Structure 1
């Protein structure tokens, strides 16, 4: 499948700020399931700083802009050829051992309630393969957390999302990571894009899902929001321990100011176009 992406992120500051510095992880890496045909990240008049590929295989680029800054836009555009590998991340080069992703963060910290959900999901699966256990955990998350926008905040934890029973793909991914850690399965947070169909959810901006490490297969993606493993509709950007660590855009500004964030994503394939704002 050939997918075209146009992703615009615009910051508007109520009062000018003295300086803006950001770290971008907006470049997808090639692997068995995706080949980059073209890709560009336009940051206008911002100055590009250091760029490097981290141990997880993701390219990070820093940018900065001296003030007064009242508006800053990032435009991502590109074309990616994808293939359905049933969620398996093949041919991806990284140096971080899978065991590092048994580390929990505030967002994915286990609680009694999360442990109970994990135990219920794995009931009767003693001796089952890691892949079967991973699928069971993903199903449990989808059953426990109904997809609903506006019910949670960026800082909502897995425990809080489970208590509320509603959330977005970020929350469902945090819960799945927490359950995987409880089951002693390495898991990480993945960001990217989804070419959504009529019954898909979570494609309002960049999408999120989890990858769990399965011996003999490696990293396998699980999208609890849509009840599937990533297929040819998905473009993988990067990963981290949680949403904050894996964020495609992170930054700071010098000078206090209220900001407004505007995001629009357009995904095109085979003459079909989707625009989410």
Structure 2
């Protein structure tokens, strides 16, 4: 399936900003699951591409000129393999994804929750756990922020795809199963769905398996991979620093269309 993706991120500042550096992870790569053609990122300033420790493409943009608005636009075409049954198989060591992070810690309640649904660490039981997480914390738009940890989101009993991913990763690691955070795009017929997305992969029986808790999807038939990490902070689409600028406001527009 061939998809056309357009992702716009708009920033507005209450004062003039300058001397900014933006770190952008919004570039998908070609692999066994997907082929990328014509991908471009438009942003002011001097740009440099490199790769991070997880082999994600990392664009750094530096700007010294003053500005009160900034537009970052990523767009291109990605053709995905809709027959894939497993997650993205790569050369990264699964052991890396057992490392603790602040966003993916478990408390006693979460450990007990995971133990109930995972008497054995099987693929079927992980799917049951994913269903239970969604029932416990239904998808609720704008119910959390990017700073929420797995413990905070689980306690709030609501969240978005980022929260579902953090909670599942935390529980998987608590029982000794490597789990990682994936950022990317999801193609759905309902265009009211936010197409910029996050999901999880768990490592079982020598394979990475997809668990999209928010949508209860367990194969990447409609998913475009952009970046992989231990949690959101490893794959954040845009992070940066600036001088001045006052109060920042931001909104995004994402379109994923079949073509």
| Fold in common (TM above 0.5) | yes
CA distance in 1, matches of 2:61, 2:245: 19
Q: Deviations over 1:101-137 (max 9, x none)?
A: 11121211111011011011113x3xx54x3343233
Matches within 5 A, 1:1-277: 1-43=1-43, 45-49=44-48, 51-84=49-82, 85-90=84-89, 92=90, 94=91, 96-123=92-119, 125=120, 129=122, 131-198=123-190, 203-204=193-194, 206-217=196-207, 219-270=208-259
Q: Separation in 1 of the partners of 2:31 and 2:110?
A: 33
Q: Cα distance 1:257–1:230, how it changes in 2: closer, same or farther (>3 A)?
A: farther
Change (3 A) 1:152 1:133: same
CA contact (8 A) 1:191 1:238 kept: yes
**For the residues of structure 2 that align with 1:231 and 1:103, how far apart are their CA atoms?**
25
Measure, in 2, the Cα distance between the counterparts of 1:157 and 1:134: 21
Asked whether the equivalents of residues 33 and 232 of structure 1 are also in contact (C-alpha less than 8 Å), the reply is no
Tell me, which stretches of 5 or more residues in structure 1 are unaligned? 271-277
Aligned length, in residue pairs: 258
- Residues 45 and 63 of structure 2 are in contact (CA less than 8 Å); yes or no, is this contact kept in structure 1? yes
Contact 1:25 1:237 in 2 (8 A): yes
Structure 2: state its 5+ residue gaps: none
SS in 2 for 1:163: helix
Between the aligned partners of 2:125 and 2:180, the Cα distance in structure 1 is 16
Aligned to 1:275: none
| Conserved 8 A contact 1:19-1:69 | no
User: How far did residue 54 of structure 1 move?
Assistant: 2.6
Give the distance between the partners of 1:37 and 1:46, measured in 2 at CA. Answer: 24
Distance 1:230 1:264, change over 3 A: farther
Deviation at 1:173, TM superposition (A): 0.5
1:190–1:208 CA contact under 8 A, matched in 2: yes
2:18–2:245: 8 Å Cα contact kept in structure 1? no
Deviation, 1:225, is 0.3
TM-score, length basis structure 1: 0.87
Aligned-residue Cα RMSD (Å) equals 1.8
